[in-house]
A and B are shown apart, each in its own frame.
Chain A
Amino acid sequence: MNVPRYWRTEQTRYGLIGEVCRACGKPIFPPRDVCPHCTEEGQDVHPFRGKGQVYSFSTIYDAPTGYTEYQPYTVALIKLDEGPLVTAQLTDVDNDQVHVGMPVEMVTRKIKEEGENGLIVYGYKFRPVLDTRPDRF
């Protein structure tokens, strides 16, 4: 049973909750106890806004165990507006429509089902930012 493994990172995965370093002021995602920039301990909780751009992307035709039902799917490095890169699947987009620099936003989606009990694990994915400008219509 792997529930604690997922439960520990719930906030990070559901809310994109990271940190800001109290010593050097840099935003940190995913959160960790020791700042990767200045090695000081002690950070403040920081919810990331979940907006960013595609830094790079790659489409998987040969998925590992647990992910084959989604293949082919596209994974990306997302450059968050606040700075950090995040590794995440893209969703709600055709694989051949993705490009470097594409504006994206975080959404919560099912990541996989695990084990005989069918434990459903959720987490963040990113989708193209919906164009809501009124002149679009």
Chain B
Amino acid sequence: MREVSIIGIGQTQVGELWERSLRDLAVDAIKAALKDAHLEWVEALYVGNMLSGECVAQQHLGALIADWSGLGNIEAVRVEAADASGAAALRMGYLAVASGVHDYVLVCGVEKMTDVDVETANAAWSSALDAEYEAFQGVTMPALAGLLMRRYMHEFGVQREDFAPFAVTAHANGANNPYAMFRSPISADAYAKAGMVVDPISMFDAAPLCDGAAAVVLCPSERTRDSSNRPVRIRASAVATDRLAVHSRREPLFLQAAYLSAQKAYLQAGVGPEDVNLFELHDAFTILAALSLEACGFADRGQAVHLAKEGGIARNGRIPISTMGGLKARGHPIGATGIYQIVELVMQLRGKAGANQIDCRLGMAQGLGGSGATAITHILEASS
């Protein structure tokens, strides 16, 4: 296997982008990434997307995006793993380059959710759950997060207010990210008073569904000399799955897939959680941020809310998370999110994260699909 590096990044604004279509967004991100990599062409394109069929009645994104980006008749396919689709596409791009099959590869994550009404978008998103035994009962993705959060509060004796630091931190970081959907800080008091969406999940516990696209360019590390930007190495790429339905899991409050994919990634990179300087985790809900921190070894079971309360997740804390706003404040364009996380890690590792820059050498990103049945972990390292 060859070592793989990221030599180009691109992203669009995240939000309700009425004037741009799914294909427009993907092309914007791809053009930016190619320009950043000083390339005009690649050998393959992997598109991470979950809901183009349901939300814009468009499938077959591999060919469509390659065509509209002017990439010609290259290898191009769409990759789907619910909310982890972008991370899964990166995994495919990584494998293509690491294996020696391709040298220059584009990975794009794109999602367009605001072409349909909120009920339809919500129902489509919930197709990541077990359709026959979860969604059939009127259970949605936020409701499942609510079930996990309520049980967490019950088992570990914490209150809803104890989750406030996750939302407050994300919004504080999003305020300095020009691409973020939400750029206003919020207070713990505002969190406490927020209206319920799916009790105990309030609007400040949940990431917004929105539009966006992000892209990265990969190549073998030995070829990065051709690129003038600081390349960032992919030190680990790992995927694990769990039983799809929460009710089928051995221990609903322990994200087994997140644990396994993180362990595999640590092993591949030869590092441990103590070596990781920042963690772009999947905070689609505050409870998922807590469970992800615990599964990946940054906090003991039931302790993530205390880590957050003590400032451990802030930019100057032990393990900064959501450093550019996370899913909560940057926004969660489902299939694109995994690539946004990577783009933001690359900005941090290049030292180009602006006001949110932290001192870092090793960064980790984790995408969760659905309620955590898929977990994809990547570890990136700044070039020395």
Say if A and B assemble together.
yes
Find chain B residues with CB under 8 A from A59 CB. 146, 196, 198-199
Mask: chain B, 141-172; 1 = CB below 8 Å from A; 0 = not: 01110111111001000000000000000000
- Say which one of B120-128, B292-300, B358-366 lies at the interface with A: B120-128
Choose one: B122, B135, B243; the contact of A36 (CB below 8 Å).
B243
A38: Cβ under 8 A from any B Cβ: no
Interface of A is mostly: strand
Q: Which residues of chain A are near B133, meaning CB under 8 Å?
A: 30, 86-87
Task: Note all chain A residues with C-beta closer than 8 A to B150.
Answer: 56-58, 100
The answer to whether A58 touches B252 (Cβ under 8 A) is no
Q: Determine if A97 is an interface residue (Cβ-Cβ < 8 Å).
A: no
- Pairwise interchain contact A77-B151, C-beta atoms closer than 8 A: yes
**A76 contacts B by Cβ under 8 Å:** yes
Q: Are B196 and A75 in contact (CB under 8 A)?
A: no
**Once the chains bind, are B137 and A75 in contact (CB under 8 Å)?**
yes
Q: Decide: B136 and A84 in contact? CB cutoff 8 A.
A: no
CB distance from A21 to the nearest CB of B (A): 14
A9-B132, A76-B147, A87-B139 known; A62 and B248 CB under 8 Å?
A: no
- Interface flags for A63-102 (1: CB within 8 Å of B; 0: not) read 1111110100101110000001111110000010000100
Kindly state the separation between the CA atoms of A56 and B143 in the bound complex, as whole angstroms. Answer: 11
Q: Which residue of A63, A70, A95, A112 contacts B119 across the interface (Cβ within 8 Å)?
A: A63
Residue contact A58 to B146, C-beta cutoff 8 Å:
yes
State A73–B198 Cα separation when bound (angstroms): 10
Q: How far is the CB of B13 from chain A (nearest CB, A)?
A: 25
Contacting pair A87 B137 (CB below 8 A): yes
Please, how many residues of chain B have a CB less than 8 angstroms from a CB on the other chain?
38
Report yes or no: A65 in contact with B197, Cβ–Cβ below 8 A: no
Is A61 in contact with B197, judged by CB distance below 8 angstroms? yes
- Whether A58 lies near B143 (C-beta < 8 A) is yes
How distant is the Cα of A101 from the Cα of B250 in the complex, in angstroms?
Answer: 19
Q: How far is the CA of A58 from the CA of B120 in the complex (A)?
A: 21
**Which of B130, B147, B197, B200 meets A77, CB within 8 Å?**
B147
Asked if A56 contacts B147 (CB within 8 A), the reply is yes
From known contacts A62-B122, A64-B119, A65-B120, infer whether A73 and B138 are also in contact, taking CB-CB under 8 Å: yes
Say whether A123 faces chain B, with CB atoms less than 8 Å apart. Answer: yes
CB distance from A51 to the nearest CB of B (A): 16
- 0/1 interface trace, chain B 287-329, chain A, CB 8 Å (1 if under): 0000000000000000000000000000000000000000000
**Is A62 in contact with B138, judged by CB distance below 8 angstroms?**
no
A23 CA / B200 CA spacing, docked (Å)? 40
Chain A 107-131, CB-CB to B under 8 Å as 1, else 0, gives 0000110000000000101000000
Contact partner of B123 (CB less than 8 A), chosen from A30, A60, A65, A88, is A65
Residues on B with beta carbons closer than 8 Å to the beta carbon of A87: 130, 133-134, 137, 139, 147, 245-247
Please tell me if B140 contacts chain A, counting CB pairs below 8 Å: yes
Q: How far is the CA of A9 from the CA of B247 in the complex (A)?
A: 18
Q: Is B201 an interface residue (CB 8 A)?
A: yes
Closest 10 CB pairs of A and B: A58-B146, A64-B123, A56-B151, A85-B247, A67-B138, A59-B199, A65-B123, A56-B147, A65-B119, A56-B150
In the assembled complex, 6 residue pairs joining A and B whose CB atoms fall closer than 8 Å, in A order, are: A55-B151, A64-B123, A67-B138, A70-B138, A75-B147, A125-B137
Known A75-B139, A87-B133; 14 more pairs at CB < 8 Å: A36-B243, A55-B151, A56-B151, A57-B147, A58-B150, A59-B196, A60-B146, A61-B197, A64-B135, A67-B138, A87-B134, A87-B139, A87-B245, A89-B137
